């Protein structure tokens, strides 16, 4: 139940832990999974969301650069239908999905992001409707220290420090980061602070991992919630302990506390303000038993609890319990098959059953076919249930969302140098949670939409050339069909991308490394826009200079309707590294 080794330029050796009950090579998995390497390119990016933009199936809806309050959806699902994990432990916020990407660990602490496209409720429970993001932290391989300083326009400056050490059976990595901007427009300043400790050790019981993390994100929120110069401050505390109990059993515990202080008119909290604080814990006991050389049985039990104390939402608490079992069989280069079932109880007499079936077959050493069918669900957040202001009304009678997801695809590989992939998918949702209203003058009302259907196709081509250069072209097209809403307007559900494409290049030569990204996106009912980014750096020696250029075309665009994003920007800096 460990994590994969360091990423390589090619992906044949990559081992994934998301969407499967035990780690397996990426080419063996029957679900649609992408791996986004972070550690080797951390100096070329500003925030984790920069890597998510490399996958067109992942819709990044940011309200500001630097990872400030970013909504993320997969395959057209709402931001609440994406489950975010940190080393397999849940990060989703019980108050609202707007805070799911308040990642407490700094960018430098992350090894990679694994993206599961499609339902993941059988393994992970509520919220994994559109897909799952699993953020995997890095483990130091030797004693090292890294310090990074950078500055750019819009008053941007960054300071990052990472210290790692390995001593016999113990490893430790400390990471701290500070990202600051005075804003590209009034009341759009932000300050991101985060710190994390990641400790690993081995004992007679087995491997252990302890993570302690904290993040503080105050930011100007002009336009975020309407034509107001708002201000917000979110804080996140996170702790997790994962303990192997021998070779086949693992126990895990995690705790997350999140606070959100919102002021409608900056500097005038007496006019309107909200303060929310929620706490969430997770307990899990998992086991894997081999049935034969090519088959294994995986099962476990989990418990969850969350509480909230809020000036607007009130004080509430709830708990859930779940049990799951899955059977996995595979013969390398021939076939693979997995079936799983999960029952999660969220009320004394109410629960959700989440089955999954996935299979793959190799037609030749180059061709593989794969497909899956699965059911997912999402329970309402506290904001969905209880929030109330003059423009928005929650609904305490909301039902959980449910969805059936289906996909089928084919992969073709020519060694490590050329890869093609295509997948078609469909998601059929019931009781989808959205906010609707009759006219633009009316307030938004949370409600369940009886039936929704999304159908799409994903395709990608990757070429690995000489000296590790990699060129990738990926594309997603999607269409959605809705139940008649009798003329009502929808707030979230029909904001999905109908087309999204990414062309990227990554390469290096004699210590120089560079990458480019051209992304084009067209949302339903809105004009398309293109973003062109270039980053470069030098990796030899102890001093590593780097340069990041974003939105070189100076596009005027909005990822959240009504919330302006910055134009052309540049940032340069240097990293000092000692091993």
Tens-digit pLDDT profile for residues 408-433: 999 999 888 899 999 999 999 999 99
- Is residue 467 scored above 80 in pLDDT? no
For the domain 15-289+299-310+319-350+357-578, what is the CATH code? 2.40.170.20
- Mean pLDDT estimate for the chain: 92
Identify the CA nearest to 538 among candidates 503, 513, 568.
Answer: 513
For residues 251-277, one letter each, b for 16 or more C-beta atoms within 10 angstroms of the residue's C-beta and e for the rest, the string is bbebebbbbbbbbbebeeeeeebbebb
Count H helices, E strands: the chain?
3, 34
Percent of the chain with pLDDT over 70: 96
What is the pLDDT at residue 2? 37
Percent of the chain with pLDDT over 90: 78
What is the pLDDT at residue 3? 37
pTM for the full model? Answer: 0.94
Stretch among 13-17, 28-32, 299-303 having the lowest mean pLDDT? 13-17
Of 291-295, 367-371, 540-544, which one has max mean pLDDT? Answer: 367-371
- Is residue 390 scored above 80 in pLDDT? yes
CA dist list (Å): 418 to 53, 156, 360: 22, 39, 20
Higher pLDDT, 467 or 367: 367
Residue listed under structure tokens 């004699």: 510
Burial class of residue 29 in the structure, from the number of CB atoms within 10 Å of its CB (0-12 exposed, 13-18 middle, 19+ buried): buried
What is the pLDDT at residue 347? 75
Q: In the structure encoding, which two tokens stand for residue 126, read together? A: 């509520």
């Amino acid at each position: 139940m460990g994590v994969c080794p360091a990423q390589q330029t090619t992906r044949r050796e990559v081992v994934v832990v998301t969407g499967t009950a035990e780690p397996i090579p990426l080419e063996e998995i029957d679900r649609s999974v992408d791996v986004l390497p972070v550690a080797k390119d951390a100096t070329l990016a500003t925030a984790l969301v920069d890597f998510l933009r490399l996958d067109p199936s992942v819709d990044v809806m940011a309200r500001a650069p630097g990872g400030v309050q970013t909504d993320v959806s997969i395959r057209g699902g709402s931001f609440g239908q994406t489950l975010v994990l940190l080393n397999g432990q849940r990060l989703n916020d019980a108050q609202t999905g707007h805070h799911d990407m308040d990642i407490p660990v700094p960018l430098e602490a992350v090894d990679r992001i694994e993206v599961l496209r499609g339902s993941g409720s059988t393994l992970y429970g509520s919220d994994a409707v559109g897909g799952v993001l699993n953020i995997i932290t890095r483990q130091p391989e030797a004693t090292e220290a890294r310090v990074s300083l950078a500055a750019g326009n819009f008053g941007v400056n960054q300071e990052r420090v990472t210290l790692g050490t390995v001593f016999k059976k113990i490893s430790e990595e400390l990471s701290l980061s500070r990202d600051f901007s005075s804003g590209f427009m009034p009341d759009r300043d932000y300050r991101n602070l985060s710190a994390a400790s990641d400790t690993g050790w081995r004992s007679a019981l087995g491997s252990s991992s302890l993570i302690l993390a904290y993040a503080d994100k105050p930011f100007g929120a002009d336009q975020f919630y309407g034509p107001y110069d708002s201000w917000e401050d979110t804080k996140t505390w996170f702790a997790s302990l994962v303990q192997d109990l021998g070779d086949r059993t693992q126990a895990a515990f995690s705790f997350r506390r999140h606070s959100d202080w919102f002021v409608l008119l900056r500097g005038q909290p007496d006019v309107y303000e909200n303060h929310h604080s929620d706490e969430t814990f997770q307990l899990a006991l998992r086991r894997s038993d081999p049935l034969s050389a090519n088959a294994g049985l995986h099962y476990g039990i989990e418990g969850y609890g969350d509480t909230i104390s809020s000036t607007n939402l009130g004080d509430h608490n709830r708990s859930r319990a779940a049990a799951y079992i899955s059977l996995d069989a595979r013969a390398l280069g021939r076939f693979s098959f997995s079936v799983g079932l999960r029952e999660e109880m969220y009320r004394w007499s109410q629960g959700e059953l989440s089955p999954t079936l996935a299979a793959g077959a190799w037609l030749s050493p180059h061709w593989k076919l794969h497909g899956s069918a699965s059911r997912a669900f999402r329970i309402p957040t506290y904001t969905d249930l209880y929030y109330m202001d003059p423009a928005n009304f929650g609904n305490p009678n909301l039902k959980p969302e449910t969805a059936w997801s289906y996909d089928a695809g084919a992969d073709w590989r020519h060694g490590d140098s050329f890869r093609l992939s295509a997948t078609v998918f469909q998601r059929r949702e019931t009781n989808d949670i959205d906010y609707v209203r009759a006219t633009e003058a009316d307030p938004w009302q949370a409600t369940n939409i009886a039936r929704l259907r999304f159908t799409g196709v994903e395709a990608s081509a990757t070429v690995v050339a000489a000296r590790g250069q990699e060129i990738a072209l990926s594309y997603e097209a999607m269409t959605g069909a809705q139940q008649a809403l009798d003329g009502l307007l929808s707030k979230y559900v029909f904001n999905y991308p109908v087309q999204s494409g990414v062309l990227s290049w990554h390469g290096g030569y004699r210590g120089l490394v560079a990458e480019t990204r051209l992304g084009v996106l067209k949302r339903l009912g809105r004009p398309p826009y293109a973003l062109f980014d270039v980053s470069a750096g030098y990796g030899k020696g102890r001093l590593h200079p780097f340069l990041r250029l974003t939105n070189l075309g100076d596009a005027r665009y909005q990822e959240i309707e009504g919330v302006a994003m910055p134009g052309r920007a540049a940032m340069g800096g240097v990293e000092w590294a000692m091993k």
